[in-house]
Every structure is written in structure tokens, then in C-alpha cells.
Amino acid sequence: MASISGLCSSSSNLIPKPNLPSSSRTQSQWMISSPFRIDENLKTSFPGISSKSGQSLLTHSVARDVPSSMSKIAATGDGVAGKSVEKKGLETDPKVLWERYTEWLYQHKELGLYLDVSRVGFTDEFVKEMEPRFMKAFKAMEDLEKGAIANPDEGRMVGHYWLRNPKLSPNSFLRLQIENTLESICAFAEDIIGGKIKPPSSPDGRFTHILSVGIGGSALGPQFVAEALAPDNPPLKIRFIDNTDPAGIDHQIAQLGPELASTLVIVVSKSGGTPETRNGLLEVQKAFREAGLNFSKQGVAITQENSLLDNTARIEGWLARFPMFDWVGGRTSEMSAVGLLAAALQGINIKEMLEGASLMDEANRTTVIKNNPAALLALCWYWASDGVGSKDMVVLPYKDSLLLFSRYLQQLVMESLGKEFDLDGNKVNQGLTVYGNKGSTDQHAYIQQLREGVHNFFATFIEVLRDRPPGHDWELEPGVTCGDYLFGMLQGTRSALYANGRESVTVTVQEVNPRSVGALIALYERAVGIYASLVNINAYHQPGVEAGKKAAGEVLALQKRVLAVLNEASCKDPVEPLSIEEVADRCHAPDDIEMVYKIIAHMAANDRAIIAEGDCGSPRSVKVFLGECNVDALYA
């Protein structure tokens, strides 16, 4: 069992240098006859490394489909920079490329993190032109860290950087809030893991599972971190309900089975009123009731003070409540109670995570672009996507445990940068599309298109130097380990993409550990903030999400009217089956006839409406009524 003092203690130990794979490992017997044997010509086995003609793609790079000269146009704003730099074909000379690699390679010594931007074709001239914009962005970040209202639409401060360095908080009240919350997270996790707080129905037992209920920023960080960092046998195993899909919820509850009795349910919602999360909670509470369990003694809320969720948890006497701060956005909340509580309960060293993030933040405060990794990323994004999101960012971690990084980044980047208007009210429709899963798996899925198909992306490789914990590696053929293959696949793909004019960034970490994960999160949080300044948008609000939520509310309101109309017709004697058109008319919603039809089709599929005539494939033929008359509803 992990000790909580270990989990929460901060350590100044540097990450050890990776050990090179031992050459004295034993060979596998069956390797000899393996169809995958590649001993003598490694190159030909890596799809990206050798071209059909046999010419090496590692050294000779030809930018085939980048126009020899393309004007880079300023995205938005004052037009200070980036408006006239020529976008030339990518560099092909290996010696020049090596020079570019060494000249631009960023290294964070203490974190063991590298950033290689050499395979993005920005020019010195472009960097120079962008300088004034960067200076503005750096100033904006400095002001933000000092407590400026960096989210003007919502009149909010943006303080996720204070979470890992409370001393930066603009006042001592906030500082104390952060420190106290961290302390109470550690203490609570210690009590749960150590068995001081026990599940009510088994006084001798311990909590064995976490069921985390939340969506968006209230789920993605904890999911990413659990996948990346949870030990194989964590003190508490985590499951997630991150949707209002009843089958998905049933599945999670069924998987827990009798262990629901020893499950800590953490309900996470900053606003405390997100419908999907509320539904998840209601479903879980129902499961508890049906199992004869007392939910409140196993429920934990993470939410803003006085939110609906907070009040519910307080009134119902839940086991614990932790605060979410007004000045922390959902998508940047991994280092708040949202991410830290779940992580600590899984035995993840959260202080190391905070330390990694803090070190990265520190590095990102320099105003020298070349030495500022977040600025370098933002520079690459701007260059590669012309500052208008003209290319997508494909994130490819070559490490299974980082599978969810791209999904995590998807919200961080797209909810932050995908904006209709800039800060001056100009319509800009900004954004940067993010997708990806993991390498080398994706090489057998969509990399074909990336290399040869439509050129609408740039890649981000995430490389992890350490293949396995020390002492566990072996050579599955002479001189080559399984991890060497992964390495070869990454390098091969990077080279092959570049050879076809596809740009890429590579972020390298020594290993996946709390520190490096904290650093990666901090790196991208800051890159998003800087990039948002470069393109003059508010990265910290999400007005677009509201439109979907409002429309969903309208659909449900219409459904209630449809039900009332059908109920009335179904209470007649004889029952009066109605056509879709009649239902829409009686709902006074003739323009919403298509939605009325969809509502009825959905209800029919769930045995809540009876199709008397026709079938759902031909909407005009359908006549519908309800199986039962609800007399009470008639007079409601």
C-alpha cells in the first residue's frame, strides 16, 4: 500500500538519466522463426524509414507539396507581425537540418524534457516579425499571473498557475485557500487509503474503488492522469461516468458489482449544475438505494461553494466536500482538487505533479522565445497553421500510458482557442483542431493519409526515452528491444512525414512520472495562453458550448409538450393515434416537425411510445400513441 506521506511529499530528486538497454540480454528462442524477424535490414521494416526506391528518408528530405513560396498572413490583431514572411519549402540538407536541430533544441535539465521544433519550417525572419506579438503575450501572461481579469467576458481572474505555486497568488486569502485545500486533500486521501475512514457497510474494510462522476474538464484531466500514472495495483481503482449515456452508466455500475459498497463516489462539477453530471449522480444514487447502501456516507463533492451540488452535498451530509475555485477553469483544473484528489487516492504523488508543473511554469516565464518552451510551441502552431488554424494538430504519444493526452489536449486547446470573435469583437472563427491516439498503433490506422493524403495537419510526437523500469528490459532479437521498435517507429514516422513536407514538433520526456506529466500539462496550458494572445482571443471562456446546452434544453422542453399531447390523445376512448404533423401542430410547433418526429422515434425505440401505423423509416406514414394514459398528467 502506498503511504500518503510518500504521495504528498515533495522531493527535489532529479530524474535519473535513462539507462541504456543492456546488450547482454538473452534472446528469445522463438524469435528465430518469427515472421517479424528484421535483424539485418531494420530500415525496410519501418514503413517510414525507407522509400520504395531504397533511398533513405532519414537523410534526404524533399518537401514535395509545400509551395516553394507562400505568403504567411497575419491572423488577426494589430498586424504587427507575421504578415509578410515567405513560407518556403522545408529544408532538405541533412547538415543544415542537424544544425537547425541543435540550434533550436530546447532542454529543461531539471525536468529532463526536450522540445524539438526543428522540423517546423519557421524562418528567423518570421520569428523576428513575431517578436512584438510575443512580447505582448508575455506581458499578458505576467498580468494574468498577477491576478488581472484575464477572462474579461466573465470578469474572472485566471489562476491555475497559482495552484502549483501558491506564493504567486495575488493575495494571502487565495494562497491560504490553495494551501489548505491541498492539505485537506492529502489528509483525506491518507485517511481513506489508510482505512481510517471506512465504507459504512463494512466497518472492517477499506474503500477499494473510486467512481468519478463529471464531464469535460471535470473528467478529462483525471482520466488522462489515471491512465498515465496510476500504479498497476492502486490503493483505489478508478472508474468514470463522464456522460449521460444510460448504458454507459449501467456498465460502470455493473462492473463495480458488490464493490459498490466500498466505492467512493466523487462528483465533480465546477458549476455544480451540469446536466450530464447531475444525471450520473442520480443514477448512482439510485444504484446505491437499490443495493441498500447509504450514498451520503460514500459521496464526495468537488464544486464551487454554494453551487447546487455543494448545497446538495451539504444538506445530505456527504462524506466530504472540496472546493473548486471561481478562478480555475474546468479545462485547466487538473492541479486543483479536481485532479489532485483522484490522483492522491490512486497513490500518485501529487506533490511531484505540482512540482513538475511549477518548474515548467518557471521556464515559461522567460521572454526569450528560444528559451521558452511554451512560446516555442505557440510559435510552431502559429507558423504551421498560419495563425488561423488552417492545419490540424495531430498528437502522437509513443507510449500507451499517454493515450489520453490527445483527448485531454483536445478540450484544453479547442475549447480555449475555438472562438468566433477576437478580443476586439471582430469575427475571426479561430481554432486549432487536435486529434490523435498513440503511436505506433496509429501507424496502422491513419498515418497513411498523413504521409500521402490531404496535407491539412502538423504532427506532435511525444517521445518517452525510458522504455521500461530499469532491470526489466530484454532483447527480443540481437541488439534490439521491443522499446527500440517503438523508438524506430517514432523516428521513422517523423522522418517519413518530413520527407513529404509534413512538419512536426517532438516533445521528449525521460519517463512518464508525476513530474513529467505535471510538466506536460503546464507546458500546454501555457502554450494555449500564449497562442491565444498571439491571435488576440479570450482563451478562458466557452460561449459556444452554451448554444448546444440551450438547444438541448429546448429539445427536452419540446419532448414534454409532445408527451402531453400524446397523453391527451391516448387518454381518449377510443385512443386517438396521431400523425407526426398532428403532434407538431398540437404542440404549436409546426416548424419543429422534424424534431417532433425524432423525439417520437426515440421514445418508440425505448418502449415509451407505440407506433400504431407505419414505421420510423417513413415519417409521414407514422401514427403514434402512448401505451398508457396518465390521468394525473392530464390535469397537471
477 catalytic, yes or no?
A: no
Minimum Å distance from CB 214 to ligand F6P? 6
For ligand F6P, which stretch binds (CB under 6 A), given 84-92, 212-220, 311-319, 456-464?
212-220
Q: Does 216 bind ligand F6P (CB under 6 A)?
A: yes
Minimum Å distance from CB 458 to ligand F6P? 26
User: Long-range contacts made by residues 409-414, C-beta under 8 angstroms, separation at least 24?
Assistant: 409/434, 409/524, 410/434, 410/435, 411/216, 411/217, 411/220, 411/331, 412/331, 412/332, 412/524, 412/525, 412/528, 413/524, 413/528
Site for ligand F6P in 501-560 (CB under 6 A): 542, 545
Minimum Å distance from CB 324 to ligand F6P? 7
β-strand 623-625 against 610-613: which pairing, if any? antiparallel
Q: Which of 60, 549, 560, 588 is catalytic?
A: 549
Q: Does 271 bind ligand F6P (CB under 6 A)?
A: yes
Minimum Å distance from CB 585 to ligand F6P? 35
For ligand F6P, which stretch binds (CB under 6 A), given 117-125, 209-217, 558-566, 592-600?
209-217
CB nearer ligand F6P, residue 291 or residue 308 = 308
305 catalytic, yes or no?
A: no
Q: Is residue 459 within a helix (H) or strand (E), and if so which, with residue range?
A: strand 457-464
Site string for ligand F6P, 312-351 (x = CB under 6 A): ------------------xx--------------------
Q: How far apart are CA 522 and CA 513, in angstroms?
A: 14
Q: Does 274 bind ligand F6P (CB under 6 A)?
A: yes
β-strand 457-464 against 504-509: which pairing, if any? parallel
CB nearer ligand F6P, residue 500 or residue 542 = 542
Minimum Å distance from CB 310 to ligand F6P? 12
Residue nearest to ligand F6P (CB): 330
Residues β-bridged to residue 432: none
CA angle 193, 198, 203 (to 5 degrees): 135
Strand order in the sheet with 457-464: 106-108, 113-116, 504-509, 457-464, 392-397, 434-435
Cβ count near 572 (within 10 Å): 10
427 catalytic, yes or no?
A: no
Q: Which three cell numbers stand for residue 504?
A: 512536426
Q: Which of 444, 560, 572, 588 is catalytic?
A: 444
Q: Does 415 bind ligand F6P (CB under 6 A)?
A: yes
Q: Does 270 bind ligand F6P (CB under 6 A)?
A: yes
Q: Does 269 bind ligand F6P (CB under 6 A)?
A: yes
Q: Which of 129, 276, 352, 415 is catalytic?
A: 415
DSSP code at position 250: H
DSSP code at position 31: G
Rg, C-alpha atoms of the chain: 28
Cβ count near 62 (within 10 Å): 15
Minimum Å distance from CB 149 to ligand F6P? 18
Q: By the criterion CB under 6 A, which residues form the site for ligand F6P?
A: 215-218, 269-271, 274, 277, 330-331, 415, 542, 545
List, by residue number, the catalytic residues: 415, 444, 549
